[in-house]
Each structure stands twice: as structure tokens, then as C-alpha cells.
Amino acid sequence: MNELQKTTQAELAELSTEITRISRLSGELVLKLTQRLELPTVDPLNLRRPLIQATWSTIRNPTRIIGAQWELTKRYLGLLKYLGFRAIGRETSKAVTAARADRRFKSEAWDEKLIFDLLKQAYLLSADWMLDNVAKMQGVSSEDRHRIHFYTRQFADALSPSNFILTNPEVLETTRKEKGVNLLRGFRRLLEDLNRGDGQLLISMTDYEAFEVGKNVATTPGSVVYQNEMMQLIQYAPSTKTAYTRPLLIVPPWINKFYILDLQPKNSFIKYAVDRGYTVFVISWVNPDEKLRYKRFEDYAHEGIFEALDAIEKATGQREVNSIGYCIGGTLLAATLSLMKSRGDDRIQSATFFTAQVDFSEAGDLKVFIDEPQLKFLEKKMKSQGYLDGESMAMTFNMLRSNDLIWTFVVNNYLLGKKPANFDLLYWNSDYTRLPETMHLYYLRTMYLENRLVERGGIQMDGVPIDLRTVNIPVYIQSSRDDHIAPYPSVYKATQIYSGPTTFMLAGSGHIAGVINPPAAKKYGYWTNDALPPDPEDWIAGAEQHQGSWWPHWDNWLKAKSGKRIPAREPGDGELPVIEAAPGSYVKG
């Protein structure tokens, strides 16, 4: 048997294997889709009204249509000029170039052949033209314009030539080399992802079998020393002989699991804090089910922060602590600090906020999903089960960066037929959590839609009017320059609210990478400015840029507020016995 025959047999065997897998997965998927079949809901995104208003506004002003058409014509004339020069072999600048951060067109194959170069440029010209026209749209409110712009961008992203077999040179070359088997593998991976989501597409972003919580992620040594139905409290074992007197309590978001702060030793913020000599406690929130549907925002304060403070005093003998609140955990911490102030409770002596919003007037693209019609739709969706499933929340966040978190994986997984790379952060990102009905609706309506937390007495906790201006402890606010979930102009607003000494620091990168940036990585950089002008752009204009991680800057800020060094404490040394080893059982639920 010659080599050609061997190759052919191997290819036929792989082809047969893929077809068998596809047949099995297709049958399973049809059954699941039948079980999930529901009548369509009318306009759940609340787009009909703003689109009708925008259409009528445009029709009444035909000069805008003519102007828009002429603008598009000029752009294409520039592309024709480029085509003409390139056809005769003359060097000339492109009509449009992709942004440096746009990974869709990184391959040199997009420039090597004229047809793909023109496809790319024609697409970029058209997409930019659509978005420019939406931005200039008249006759609609700023909120509706924002909504239309967001979904126009989703539409434009979906139409990219990189997303289709016949217009992506890299996919075509791979298909030629592999004789189409890559497409069969991709179709099989698509069916696997649909099956995993019971008919809803859950795009695989990493190899989920490569990670296990407590084994190679969330591995910093420690113990669960307290628990209730809402959370487990983890105390981490010391790595230094001495530690600061004042413990550190971390309140992570319950929209995701806490171990984003403890992925692996090389990028664990928790390990970094432990290694600096802090006695670190972290709340690990339970993944709620129907039994917790009536849990309120206040319940996260009582059964989370307050019970954690009581437990820390029993575990260490120390009444006063420093604190960190991340994202919605920071929003909760801010409101709780006001409640504590009204009661004369001074146990929290300083607060650090990671990407945490308290004034939601400029909360970014997430507000696209939050208006009264959409909240009513969401309320109806959660009514039967008492919570919002994690997959729905994940899709919302992924849409905020659809090119990076949706279409990149569509091309890699389903067109190129590749297996996703091993990436701890994306494993965490896919470890979905649920949100209890009562708390979630209250949070979206009160904070995002009505922006009442920033008002004096705009919300109440335990019947007490909350006023964030009464928070007068030292505060360190971290934000990220490219944050798409908590934009820095929104986070910065807190600097004008708290009445105590406030430090604002702007990190490079986004909502996650801007926080998880260990010193060894030597990436992104950060900006500082002691002045706190009302306008964040004025703050940036006067800020000093620094290289590398901001973690040492935070450490220098906190250690001055942490007391003297004493012999390090081990979990179980105090009044609270060890329940189980970290990361505990709640995080695995």
C-alpha cells in the first residue's frame, strides 16, 4: 500500500468518524429543541418604536438621505481609486484600514490577494458609514439612538466577510488543505455547543476539560471558616511569618464566581495580597436556585458583608477590617457603608473599589438592555423558575464585545474546525452563575434604569435612607480605560460623591484584564493624579502614566492603613473551626 492510499484511508476514516458524530448529535439536538419549543415573544428588545421614529424622521428629511448616499459614494470612489492604482502596480494608501485591535483581519492573507483586500475595505467602509449615520440620527432620544447604534453594530459585526467560508481567505486555504474535513469538525463542534446549551448556542471559548476548580484554578491555600445559605467565607493561609493586624475582606460580584481573583498562582490577586502580608478573607457566593428567588439587595449585605464581619472578628479577634468590593460587589459595599455610617458601625476602615459603579447615568452599552419593556419581559422570563439563568447573562456580556467574544470563536471553532485554546480566564467566564429574581430586578430597575443609589435617600436598606455622601473613610477607586461593562467615566463619578480621602487610579485594558494584571506580566500600565476634577477627561489630561501593574501602587496605599505586623494567623486559630478546604463547595455549584 503506497503513501497516497494510506492518506486516503486516513482521511476517509476521519470523515466517517465526523459524520457518525454529527448524526448522533443532530438527533439529540432535535429532541432538545422540541422540548424547548416556545412561541416567539414580540419585540423583546424594544426596538420597534425607536426604529419607526427614526425611519419617519429620515423620510421627512430627504436631504439627509441624499447626503448619506453621497457620503457612501465618496467612500467607494476612494476604494475604486485604490483598486485602479493597485491594478497597475502602483503603491497607494488604502481607502480604509482596520483598527489595530481588530483581530478579524490580522492574517496577511487579507492583503495578499486583491479580491480579499477589496472585500475587507468595502465592508469596513460600509460598516463605518452605517454607524456614522446612526450617530447623526435626529428625531429620536439619546437613549433610543444608543440602542439603535448598539444593534446596528451587532448587525455590522455579523456581516463581516471574515465570518463566511467563501469570503475568508484563511478558511478557504484551510478547507483546501484539509479537503473540507475542517468544516465537518466545525459543524460537529457547533452541534456539541448547541447540545450543551439544550438548544441555545453556548460557544465554547476554551477547553473546559483542561481546568478544574480547586485543582488548577482557585488553588491558593485556605479554608472555609464560616457559611450560611448565601455564602461561604474563605480565610487564606499565610505565606509570610508576620501579617498586618487589620484583616482584608473581599466582596466579589455574584454575577460571576469569586475565583477571577484567584485563577492561577501567576495571576492571582488573592495570592499577591497574601504574599504582601494581608490576612485575606473572601466571600464565595452561592449559585442561587429557585429557593433563593426572594433574596433582596439587603440580604446580600446582611448575609454577606455583615455576617462576614462578625465571622472575621471571631476568627482573628480583630473588629476593624479593610475591604474590597468588585463590580456589583462594590456597589453593594458602597451602599452598606452608608448604612453602617447611619448606625455608627465603623468596622470597615477603608474601602477599595474595583470597576464599581454607584452613579449609573453613563453606564455604557449595558443600558441598551434595560428599559421598562425589557424589564417586564425579563420579569416574565424569570417568573417560572425564580432566577435568571447564567447563560442569558453571559450572552448579554458577550454581545458587548461581539467580535472578540462571539465571532472570533465562530470562525475558529466552526469554520476552521479548531479546538479552543486553554485559557483560564475564559474558563472562568464560562462558569455561569444564576441571579435571584427579586434582587436582580431591583438592581436593574433601581440602579441602572432609575439611578436612585446616587440620590440622597434614593433607596432604603432596612428602612434607612442611603446617602453615599456620608461615606468618609479612605477610598481607593480602580477603573479600567477600555472597560465595556463599567466605563471609566461612570466609575469616576464616585470621586465626586464620597466625603473622605479618595484616590482614583485608571488601569489599562478592560473590565477583567485591567484588574487581573500581576506585576510579573509587565503589561498595560496605569495612570494616577492626586487632583479630582469633576470631568474625568480633565483628570486624564493631568494624570501621570506608569508602566506595568497597578497592584504595588494599591499595596502602598493599603499597608499604611493596615496596622503593625503581628505573627501570621492560620485558619482555625480563632473561635471559628475549619469547615472545609478552599475554594469550598459553593463555588463548584
Residue 1 has pLDDT above 50, yes or no: no
Q: What cell was used for 491?
A: 466609575
Cα–Cα dist 213/205, whole Å: 17
Same domain, 277 and 373: yes
Same domain, 299 and 444: yes
Same domain, 486 and 395: no
pLDDT band, very low/low/confident/very high, at 233 (cuts 50, 70, 90)? very high
What amino acid occupies position 77?
L
Name the 3-class secondary structure at 245.
Answer: coil
Question: HSE (CB half, 13 Å, CA atoms) of 144?
Answer: 15
In a domain, 216, yes or no: no
Cα–Cα dist 271/417, whole Å: 37
In a domain, 241, yes or no: no
In a domain, 223, yes or no: no
Same domain, 508 and 472: yes
Same domain, 449 and 358: yes
Domain membership of residue 138 as a residue range: 53-178
Structural contact between residues 522 and 548, judged by C-beta atoms closer than 8 angstroms: yes
60-96 residues labelled b (16+ CB within 10 A) or e (exposed)? eeeebeeebeeebeebeebbeebeeeeeeeeeeeebb
Lowest-pLDDT range of 139-148, 188-197, 324-333, 385-394: 139-148
Q: Which of 233, 250, 260, 327 is catalytic?
A: 327
Residue 447 has pLDDT above 90, yes or no: yes
Q: What cell was used for 121?
A: 475595505
Residue 31 has pLDDT above 80, yes or no: no
Active site residue 327: yes
In a domain, 476, yes or no: yes
Name the 3-class secondary structure at 580.
Answer: strand
Structural contact between residues 516 and 260, judged by C-beta atoms closer than 8 angstroms: yes
Residue 40 has pLDDT above 60, yes or no: no
In order of 1, 84, 97, the CA distances from 93 in angstroms are 54, 12, 9
**For residue 16, what pLDDT is reported?**
57
pLDDT average, residue stretch 451-467: 96
**For residue 42, what pLDDT is reported?**
44
Name the 3-class secondary structure at 505.
Answer: strand
Q: Is the dihedral angle over the CA atoms 269, 275, 281, 286 positive or is it negative?
A: positive
Same domain, 9 and 82: no
Residue 537 has pLDDT above 80, yes or no: yes
Q: What cell was used for 148?
A: 439603535
Lowest-pLDDT range of 177-191, 266-280, 384-398, 432-446: 384-398
pLDDT tens for residues 64-112?
788 888 888 888 898 988 888 888 888 888 989 998 888 899 989 999 8
* Domain end among 156, 178, 200: 178
**For residue 10, what pLDDT is reported?**
64
Lowest-pLDDT range of 47-56, 159-168, 188-197, 530-539: 47-56
Same domain, 423 and 449: no
**For residue 19, what pLDDT is reported?**
56
What amino acid occupies position 451?
N
In a domain, 238, yes or no: no
pLDDT average, residue stretch 437-457: 96
Lowest-pLDDT range of 241-245, 401-405, 501-505: 401-405
Lowest-pLDDT range of 54-68, 125-139, 263-277, 472-486: 54-68
In a domain, 230, yes or no: no
Q: What percent of the chain has pLDDT over 70?
A: 92
Does the reported pTM lie above 0.85?
Answer: yes
List the CATH number of the domain containing 576: 3.40.50.1820
Instruction: Cite the DSSP H helix spans in 43-107.
Output: 48-59, 62-87
In a domain, 44, yes or no: no
In total, how many domains does the chain have? 3
Name the 3-class secondary structure at 244.
Answer: strand
pLDDT tens for residues 379-420?
998 998 999 988 888 888 888 888 888 899 999 999 999 999
**For residue 148, what pLDDT is reported?**
87
pLDDT tens for residues 162-214?
999 999 999 999 999 999 999 999 999 999 988 888 877 889 999 999 999 99
In a domain, 45, yes or no: no
Q: How far is it between the farthest Cα atoms of the chain?
A: 87
Lowest-pLDDT range of 35-44, 148-157, 293-302, 564-573: 35-44
Same domain, 451 and 541: yes
Same domain, 33 and 75: no
Instruction: Cite the DSSP H helix spans in 114-241.
Output: 114-135, 142-158, 169-178, 181-196
Work out the mean pLDDT of the chain and round it to a whole number. Answer: 90
Q: What cell was used for 586?
A: 459553593
Same domain, 439 and 310: yes
Same domain, 369 and 500: yes
311-337 residues labelled b (16+ CB within 10 A) or e (exposed)? bbbebbebebbbbbbbbbbbbbbbbbb
Cα–Cα dist 448/363, whole Å: 7
Residue 325 has pLDDT above 50, yes or no: yes
